[in-house]
Structure formats: structure tokens, C-alpha cells
Structure 1
Amino acid sequence: MSTPSEELLPGTRRSLLRRVAVAQAEGRVPSVVAAVARDGRLVWAGARGAVDGREPDTGTQYRIGSITKTFTAVLVLRLRDEGLIALSDPLEKHLPGTGVGEVTVAQLLAHSAGLAAEAPAPWWERTPGALRPELRDVLGERPSLHPAGRRHHYSNPGYTLLGSLVETVRGESWEEVLRREILEPLSMDRTTVRPVAPAADGWAVHPWADVLLREQVEDLGVMAPAGQLWSTAADLLRFAGFLAEGDERVLGAASVAELRTPAVPPEPGQWDAGYGLGAQLLRQGSRTLVGHSGSLPGFVAGLWVSVSDGVAAVTLANATSGLAAASVAAELVGIVADAEPRIPAPWQPLPEVDQALLALTGPWYWGTQAVGARLTENGGMELRPLRGGGRGSAFIAAGDDCWTGLDGYYAGETLRVVRRPDGSVSHLDLGSFVFTRGPYEPDDAVPGGVDEAGWRGLGG
């Protein structure tokens, strides 16, 4: 088994091992392997059961099912970043003749295109992909079940269409594009479309007896972009690090953050979960996890990363059911993040400061609500309420006394310094909201003006 590069505390390691051991014993699975990374480095790995007579390790392959979809989404976002497609493009623009060409690329990524969850019978996961050689065989006679863009409805055929989109635009197979554009740059040498030893066999466990039945391994054919891949715990932790930080060789940090951002409302009663542009989102207490679950006959898999904690976990098992691999992986993230919280980086002063920007810091007033402006690195700004609740955002410099909102209510909005003819600052304009240095000062540029009688007591 791979040696962790940084030790966790003994109590944390025992908690992780116990959780995996309980999952394997109670889930009655032939083998399970799990691993945890912190700040991109492997810090723990554990396993139970056996593959080919020995305990599996972080280099043992398991089939990862729908975790494959996140890889396909990255390939699609690469096409967007290169200007070859737009997320708002209808599918018909690039992949004509499907019969569902009015749905957009973004809707397919977010599972909001209204397409059916599965391909027509026979069940695609348990039959050869050769039975569905064309997209029309995957979509069937009734491919759309819901109005496009209105709700989240998970769709395996939708990701089949996205894989075909990648092939059409690139002029190469999905497998080759995946290898060259993701697997090789991220050094994911043990992630493949077909098993490469050492690899676990897939099993079904009898529900009422401790006996096994071997599951067939099928090549998914045209549906491969929805669930074909085999991988290892070590490789998936590398991918988790990429999902947290981005990698300019594959996809930059801004586009990866877009992939992690909720793209469609969750179903009623499921407000603790959501979906971005190719990644599942999970709420764990106050913590947000991003990743994906996966399953195919004989295998279950889970990958989650908490970006704020810098902790990622993977769980892989070789049984059709019995162990909720995604749930276990989420719990492993929580065990480490709760037991050993991230230690913040040392505070350091800014390397330099623009005196004109420094003069903008301090209290400002939107009406009577006080907010504080402070400088951040690279000429950025933050505007936050000084007391109570309210709207606040971080802003990135956009030049010429302007900043662009990064989060919250003001995401994408422009914060602008408005100056008087003599160059002095009159006020801040934020999406038409006026922020002044004092609350309703008579000479300030307050929309609608200020009562000439000024401030008064209750009986005034």
C-alpha cells in the first residue's frame, strides 16, 4: 500500500480504519479500499477484504461508474474554454440529427435537459454496448420526459450525447481525447477504459447467505462517457485535487469552480444535495462537498472533496450493493476535517499598497446600514456588513476605479468609485446602490435626496 506523505493523529487514523472496517463487514462486500488526501497529499489509506488473495491497495483498480461523468464534463468545458462551443449552444448546432437538438450543452451537463434517466431496454449496464451502436439506440422513441431547463432529472443518455459531442468537435474518440487531455496531464496512469491488473472482480452478494456470484463486465460502447472508467484510489485523489484547485494544463481554476457551482435547483425534499456542471454537490452539516458517486454491476464508488477544508476522500468496493461507497467517502472527509481542522496560513501584510485604494477602506453607508470596505490581494476589495446580517461580497479589480463581484448577491455586479469634478470621491456605486461616507448626509449623492430638516428626535 502507498505510504502516506504526512501522518494523521493516531486517533484519526483509527477512526478512519474503523469506519471502513464497519462498512465492509456490515455491507458484506468482498473488498473495500479507501484513501484520504489533505491539501493534495495522501495522508491515509486503508483496506479490508481481499482481491486475488491479498488486501487491495491504492493502486488496485475498481470500476467507478458514473464518476466517469465528471471526466466527460471536464472535456466539454475544455471545448468551451477554447471557444469551440458555448454552453448556451443547442446540441443541434454541433451534433445534428439526434431528435433532441433543442436542449443546450449546459442543460445536458446539469442533467436539466429533461431527458430520460436510462436508455431503452435491455438494461444498458448489464448488456453489451454493441446492442446500442448508435445514439438513436440510446435515446429511444421517447427521449424527453420533462421540459428542458425546468428540473433536475439525472440522465445517462444525456452524458452519452456529451461524449459524442466531444468526439464530433475533436474528430477523435472520447477515449483518446480523455487520455490526452486529462489522464496524461494529471498522471492518472491507472485510470483506463478497460481493467488493467491488478483489478478487482465485480461480485453480487446473496442477500440471505454469505455466498458470491460473479458479475459480468460489459463494454458500454457509445455510452462509455456515462460510466465506463476503471480507476484507483490514488488516481482519484489526484482528480479530487484537480477538482479543488484546477490545473491550467487541463482546466483553469475559474472553470473548475464553475463546474462545482450549483446549476439547477434540487428536487423538493433534497435541499442537502445538488448538481453543478458535471459534479454532484452534497451538504454535510455546514460543510459543502463536491464529487460524484458511481456504480455498475459488481462495483460501487464514491469521491468527495471539501474545498474549504482541503480534504478529499475516495471509497471503492467490488459488490453490486450493500455498501454506500459515496456515503462512506463523505464520512471520511468529515472525520478528518472535524478531528484535525485546517490550520490557517500565517497572516502576512500585502506586498505593496496603492494609497488611493487605501483611502477607500473603512466604513460606508447604504442608507443607514454600515458596511466595511477592506483591501485584499491583487487590488481586490471586500464589502461586508459591520453588524447584523446583510449583503456582502468579495470583488476583483476590473480597472479604472471598478471591481467585479465574485460571490453572494453582488456576484458579477460592478462596484464603481464615483468622483467629483475635482477628483475627490463622492460615493461608491454598486449596481445602482449608492454607498456614502455618512448616513444620509445633506450634500451626499443620495437617490431621492435627504430631508432638509435633518435628523430629529421622536417628538421633533
Structure 2
Amino acid sequence: MTTSQEELLPGTRRALSHRIAVAQAEGRAPSLVAAVVRGGRAVWHGSRTSVDGHGPDENVQYRIGSITKTFTAVLVLRLRDEGLIDLGDPLEKHLPGTGVGEVTIAQLLTHSSGLAAESPGPWWERTSGALRPELADVLGEQPLLHPSGRRFHYSNPGYTVLGALVEKLRGAPWADVLRREVLEPLGLERTDTRPSAPHAGGWAVHPWADVMLSEPAEDLGRMAPAGQLWSTTGDLARFAAFLANGDDRVLGAGSLREMRTPAAPQEAADVAGGYAYCLGLEMRHQDGRTLVGHTGSLPGFVACLTMSLDDDVAAVVLANCTSGPLPFTIAADLVRIVAEAEPRFPEPWRPMPDVDPAVLELTGPWYWGTYAFGLRLTSEGMVTLEPLSGRGRGSRFRANGDGTWTGLESYYAGEPLKAVRRPDGTVDHLDLGSFVFTRQPYDEGAAVPGGVDPEGWRGMNSL
């Protein structure tokens, strides 16, 4: 892929370059490299200082740590989409003998399984994976610290278990499956479990002196599905475009939308901080934007991939230091700079190619009791039902092809919407998950549950 920088204005490019320059200097990173993605491809690449005596470009590898988990989650969703598993299945159904067979695949994906955050024994990120040859070595004697499904508790061993699940069902090592099913189809030629030149070395920067210490680059062994990968800003830019739009060779757009939807029980501190975990992706709220992606770290490296779907902007930040730069904050700022300097052009409005008169008849005002709503028909063939006062529950609804719709968001997600007609074919009311919407508030001519007072609406003098 050839990175095009001409698509961003010079002022925007300078602001991006200035932001990473400040990040590298204040964070005291030996090197820092970043990329911005828009319209499905990289439109800017920037770097500060050098790797092996040269300014790092989009092909220099860095360790990406827990961004690896998103790749593992894609493999698991592929198994689901092929019908080999259900996310609600207990682990024991497909991978017996782990000792944690009661946890579900979804709980593992969302870090709500109750498993410990780390594996027992020596600090796994700085010791050879050969010390943990079996799942039992990763899980330990007391793998569950919390009741399954009750709370979000980030677990690296949980993704190791998911990697073992992939290996069992595919009959091949996790790394081989990843290469065959994700890396090669998406053209991620510089993403691998081991580094190849050119790549950055990992460093620890002394907190009280401007000196550095080399960090070991261990093979994580069994823990690889939780954080082993090396990658580049070029490859992660492609991966970001995939996460936003899908690719039917790997995972379709519908499954990617599901991956980007919060799914883990949230702790109060996470809610207050605007954080939620999805299916292998993190969601954060920053600067009024919803950002989805993942951060990563291993001794010697920090990383972040995040994207704002509403702005059609993604950012990747990689640095080769154990601590210092805050990769999510930097990536979020890169997204903000582009989104504010060059706002996304909306898609041009176009009329629908054709319309079903029976559906057009349903548009306009409806009332749930005394609450006023408006139903609109969109050019995509969906309908929206939104409160007219700005207060209350609303949603988009996807057509099912049989005259009914299914809610896509919030309270009405998954709920059925249908028009209930009288024997003569006229519309009596809308039924939304048993809620009745009528053309007039408590329409006396409609089938309102509990009936309508025959004395009708009254003023003060009638009381």
C-alpha cells in the first residue's frame, strides 16, 4: 500500500506531526510512529527519531501487545459464523478438561469469565513461554477469582484459552490459523509472531534519568494469543479499515458491528470513565466521540489502534518503551485533529428508488400513551422511531422482509416492530415489543390495552 499524504491539508498534517513530536519528547520514547486512516486507507504517516539509524516508516515492526487479542477475537467470531460454536456455549463443550469448563466463550471474549488477570508463576511477559507449556500452567490451581458473568475483570489467561479453542477446532497452531485466515487475506505481510528486520528494539527508560535499559523480547508460548504479535503502522492501518468495514473473506460487516458493541458487565469506575469492553475491542468516550479499538503493551513497547466510525477516522500509535507516552491519548488526539480540521462530508441525500405504499402509510406521528414519536422511512429501507420532544426511547429498525422490523439500538435492540391492521386493512396501531403506538394519544378507535375512558379527554371544569 502506498501511503498518500496529499489527501490531508498541510495544516492538518503539521498538527499531526506536532502532536507526535510532543508525545515523543514528553514521553521520552526512543522512537514513536503513527498513522491516520480515512476512507479505508492510510492518509498520513509520521515518526520521530530513529530505529537502526533511520526514521521508522510504516514497515518497521513494533510489538503490539494486547492488540493481539482483537486478532484472536476475529478467529473466534469466524468459528461462530461457520456454525462451529455458539458464543453462549460453555467452554467444556468444545475444549474439555480445562478446569474452567463452565465459563462461556462470550465471557472469555468480554473478560467477564471471572478468570485471574495474569498467569501464576514468574512475570509472564518477561519470562520464556517454555515455562508454561500447558494450559494448566497458564490457569494455575485457582483460575477463577470471581463468579462467571458477574463483572468485568481483564484476563490475559482468558485469551490464551480462546487461542487453545481455535487450535482445537481448527486442528492447527493458533499462529498458523491466524496467518491463513486473517493475515494473508488482509495483506498484513509485516504482522507476525516473531520480528523480522526492520524492527524496533524494546527499551525501558529510567524514570529519573535520561538513560535506557534493553528489555527482553520473550516468546510468550501459550500466552501468545493474548499478546505475542509484532506489527507495523502500515499493517495496522489496513486492519483498522477491516475492523470498520468488514471483509467477507475474513469477517462480514455484521459480525464486526457485533464485535464493536459493548458486551461485558461494567464496573462503576469504568462507567464513570467512559470505558466499556466489547467482543475483543475496547470502547472509550473521549472529546465527545465514541472510540473503538484496543491498546497494548509489553516490556519495551506500548501501542494503540482506535477509530471513530462517525468521523471515519482511525489512528495507530506505536512506541518502543515500557512506559512514558500514553498511546490511547495520543491516538485519540490524532483522530480529533483530523475530525475537527477536516470534518467528514456526509453522504449525499438521494431519494429511495421505490417505496412500498403500505410502509409509507406508517410514517408520521405516533403516540405511546401521551408521548409523541415520529416514524420515518430512510433511503436504506429502514425505519426510525424517535421521540419528537427529544426525550424518551428511540431506535432504528431493520426490515425483516415480511412487513416487520427489528430494533437495532438501545432499549429496543432486538425488539420486534409491526403494524397491526383491522379486518378492513387499515392500520389500528403499531406494536413494539407489546407497547402500543396509536395515531392519537390514547386513540379511542384503537386497541389500547386497558381500554380508553369513554368520557374522553376533560378540562378542569369537568373534574
TM-score normalised according to structure 2 size: 0.97
Residues 396 and 408 in structure 2, CA contact (< 8 A), matched pair in contact too: yes
State the AA in 2 paired with 1:402.
Answer: T
Map residues 57-456 of structure 1 onto 2, 5 A cutoff. Answer: 57-271=57-271, 272-456=274-458
Aligned 8 A contact 1:5 1:41 in 2: no
User: RMSD of the TM alignment (CA)?
Assistant: 1.3
Instruction: Give the Cα–Cα distance (whole angstroms) in 2 for the partners of residues 3 and 248 of structure 1.
Output: 24
Letter in 1 for 2:65: G
Task: Give the SS at the match of 1:189.
Answer: coil
What are the within-5 Å matches in structure 2 for residues 21-36 of structure 1?
21-36=21-36
Consecutive unaligned residues of structure 1, counting only runs of 5 or more, are none
| C-alpha distance after superposition, 1:200-224 (max 9, x if no partner) | 1111122222222221111111111
Partners of 1:288 and 1:281 lie apart in 2 by 7
Using the TM superposition, give the Cα deviation of residue 6 of structure 1 relative to its aligned residue in structure 2, in angstroms: 4.4
CA distance in 2 between counterparts of 1:176 and 1:361 reads 52
Mapped contact 1:128–1:220 kept (Cα < 8 A): yes
How far the C-alpha of 1:31 sits from its partner, in A, is: 0.5
Corresponding residue number in structure 2 for 1:50: 50
Aligned residues: 460
Post-superposition Cα deviations, 1:94-129, rounded to whole Å, max 9, x if no partner, equal 111111111110000000111111111211100110
Asked whether the 8 Å contact 1:2–1:45 carries over to 2, the reply is no
Question: In 2, distance between residues paired with 1:68 and 1:100?
Answer: 23
Shift of residue 93, structure 1, vs aligned partner: 1.0
Contact persistence 2:5–2:45 (CA under 8 A): no
Query: Cα distance, 1:326 vs. partner?
Result: 2.2
How much has 1:379 moved relative to structure 2? 3.2
Write out per-residue CA displacement over residues 58-116 of structure 1, whole angstroms, 9 at most, x where no aligned residue: 11110101000000001001101111011111111111111111111000000011111
Answer whether contact 2:111 2:154 (CA < 8 A) is retained.
yes
Q: Deviations over 1:314-355 (max 9, x none)?
A: 000111111112221122111111222211011111111111
Conserved in 2, the CA contact under 8 Å of 1:2 and 1:58? Answer: no
Question: Which stretch of the first structure deviates more once superposed, 437-446 or 64-73?
Answer: 437-446
Contact 1:65/1:301 (CA < 8 Å) preserved in 2? Answer: yes
CA contact (8 A) 2:109 2:279 kept: yes
Deviation of 1:299 (Å): 0.8
Structure 1 window deviating more from structure 2 (360-369 vs 77-86): it is 360-369
Worse-matched range after superposition: 366-375 or 6-15: 6-15
Shift of residue 420, structure 1, vs aligned partner: 1.0
Distance 1:412 1:342 in 2: 30
Q: 1:80 and 1:5 mapped to 2: Cα distance? A: 39
Q: Deviations over 1:4-50 (max 9, x none)?
A: 25422222212211110011111111100001011212121110010
CA contact (8 A) 1:112 1:152 kept: yes
The alpha-carbon deviation at position 237 of structure 1 amounts to 1.0
Moved more, 200-209 or 63-72: 200-209
Given that residues 373 and 383 in structure 1 are in contact (C-alpha distance below 8 angstroms), is that contact kept between their aligned partners in structure 2? Answer: yes
Runs of 4 or more consecutive aligned structure 1 residues displaced over 4 Å after TM superposition: none
Deviates more, 1:338-347 or 1:303-312: 338-347
For residue 388 of structure 1, report the CA deviation from its aligned partner: 3.3
Whether the aligned pair in 2 keeps the contact of 1:415 and 1:428 (CA below 8 Å) is: yes
Q: Give SS of 1:115's match.
A: coil
C-alpha distance in 1 between matches for 2:82 and 2:103: 21
Distance 2:239 2:310 in 1: 17
Tell me, yes or no, if the aligned pair for 2:350 and 2:379 is still in contact at 8 Å. Answer: no
- Mapped to 1, the partners of 2:256 and 2:402 lie a distance apart of 28
Percent of pairs identical after alignment?
Answer: 69
Structure 1 contact 6–42 (Cα < 8 Å) conserved? no
TM-superposed CA distance for 1:285, in Å, is 2.9
SS of the equivalent of 2:236 reads helix
Q: Matched residues in 1 for 2:2 and 2:428: separation? A: 61
Q: Which moved more, 1:382-391 or 1:52-61?
A: 382-391
